Amino acid sequence: MVRVEHVMGTVVSLHLRDPGIADAAVDGVFGWFHEVDARFSTYREDSEVSRLGRGALGVGESSDDVREVLALCDDVHRESEGIFEVWGRRHGPPFDPSALVKGWSVDRAAAMLEGAGARNFYLNAGGDVVGRGGAQPGRGWRVGIVHPEELDKVAAVITATDCAVATSGAYERGHHIVDPRSGRPSSGLLSMTVVGPSLARADAYATAAYVMGREGVGWVSGRPGYEAYAITAQHRAVFTAGFARLLTSVTLDPVPGPSA
């Protein structure tokens, strides 16, 4: 079954290949996303995140979930030597953990589905993906990495079973990722994709590594369990050896070039 809902400022798709999973479990997952939206939105003045940002709520008074997100943000902030920053950026709200919350909420949703007995499914939240099991017996999920300039095409295809895949790029929302060291949009890459066990981290790592540029690929390869694939402004793909092992050779009709 497939369920698609507009939530968290994007669209979440669930593809569930196991029969007999209770509707209530699926309802619970989408209910969770709406709850996350209310509690973590920077667009809602009364959300926990907005109240934390303006000092109306202390960290100690926050819910366990908010503190879990804060701890993860702190981890990635340290690991990235300050490039991943959720507090006091020059533009935007005073506290904005959005680059991690979406992935974190999808990790939680995947655990909820597994708890309900689901084994073969994926969740895609606006391009950030968690997959479990595979599309059919004996085959993992084929994940296409969008070409950053031709959004109806894929630049690469990987096959993976239990995985999270997150991509950051300048396209779609404009230059929305800013290097906190310069306050300017990062440059040098068209997109950065990170694969690993947790979408919360993959999402945050992709954000930080995109800012770092080509060096970001090496940085991600130093995060245990995570792999990276970057597309440079010169249209070259730079990726970790571990990512190369996930790359899938796809047989297809040749696509004519623009001058062909």
Partner 1 sequence: VQVTVIIAAGKITDVQALTLPSDRQRSAEISQQAGPLLHDEVVQAQSAQIDILSGATFTSDSYAQSVQSALDQAHL
Query: Residue 52 burial (CB < 10 Å; 0-12/13-18/19+)?
Result: buried
Query: According to the binding rule CB under 8 A, does residue 71 interact with partner 1?
Result: no
In the region spanning residues 108 to 167, those forming contacts with partner 1, defined by CB under 8 A, are 122, 124, 126-129, 131, 135, 141-148, 150-157, 165-167
Name residues contacting partner 1, limited to 184-203 (CB under 8 A).
191, 193
For 136, the 3-state DSSP assignment is: strand
Report the residue number, 50 or 167, with the smaller CB distance to partner 1.
Answer: 167
- The pair phi, psi for residue 23, each rounded to 5°, is -55, -35
| Burial bucket for residue 118 (CB in 10 Å: 0-12, 13-18, 19+) | buried
What is the C-alpha to C-alpha distance for residues 34 and 53, in angstroms, rounded to an integer?
A: 21
Rounded least distance, CB 54 to partner 1, Å: 25
The residue among 9 and 67 lying less far from partner 1, judged by its C-beta, is 9
Minimum separation from the CB atom of position 241 to partner 1 (A): 4
Using CB under 8 A as the binding rule, whether residue 224 contacts partner 1 is answered as yes
Q: What order do you get walking across the sheet with 2-7 strand by strand?
A: 2-7, 10-16, 121-125, 128-132, 163-169, 189-196, 227-232
> Of residues 33, 84, 95, 243, which one binds partner 1 by CB under 8 A?
243
Secondary structure of residue 83 in the 3-state scheme: coil
Tell me whether residue 122 is exposed, middle or buried, using C-beta atoms within 10 angstroms of its C-beta: 0 to 12, 13 to 18, 19 or more: buried
Distance CA 257, CA 147 (A): 14
Q: How many residues bind partner 1 (CB under 8 A)?
A: 72
Of 15 and 44, which has the nearer Cβ to partner 1?
15
Determine, following the binding rule CB under 8 A, whether residue 240 of this chain makes contact with partner 1.
yes
The reply on whether position 89 binds partner 1 by CB under 8 A is no
13 binds partner 1 (CB under 8 A): yes
Tell me the window of 18-26, 82-90, 179-187, 250-258 that interacts with partner 1 (CB under 8 A).
Answer: 250-258
Q: Rule CB under 8 A: choose which of 72, 106, 170, 200 binds partner 1.
A: 170
Is position 31 an interface residue for partner 1 (rule: CB under 8 A)? no
The least distance separating partner 1 from the CB of residue 63, rounded to whole angstroms, comes to 25
CB of 238 to partner 1, least distance (A): 5
**61: contact with partner 1 by CB under 8 A:** no
Crossing angle of the two packed helices 64-79 and 98-115, in degrees rounded to 10: 120
Please state, in angstroms and rounded to a whole number, the distance separating the CA atoms of residues 48 and 34.
Answer: 14
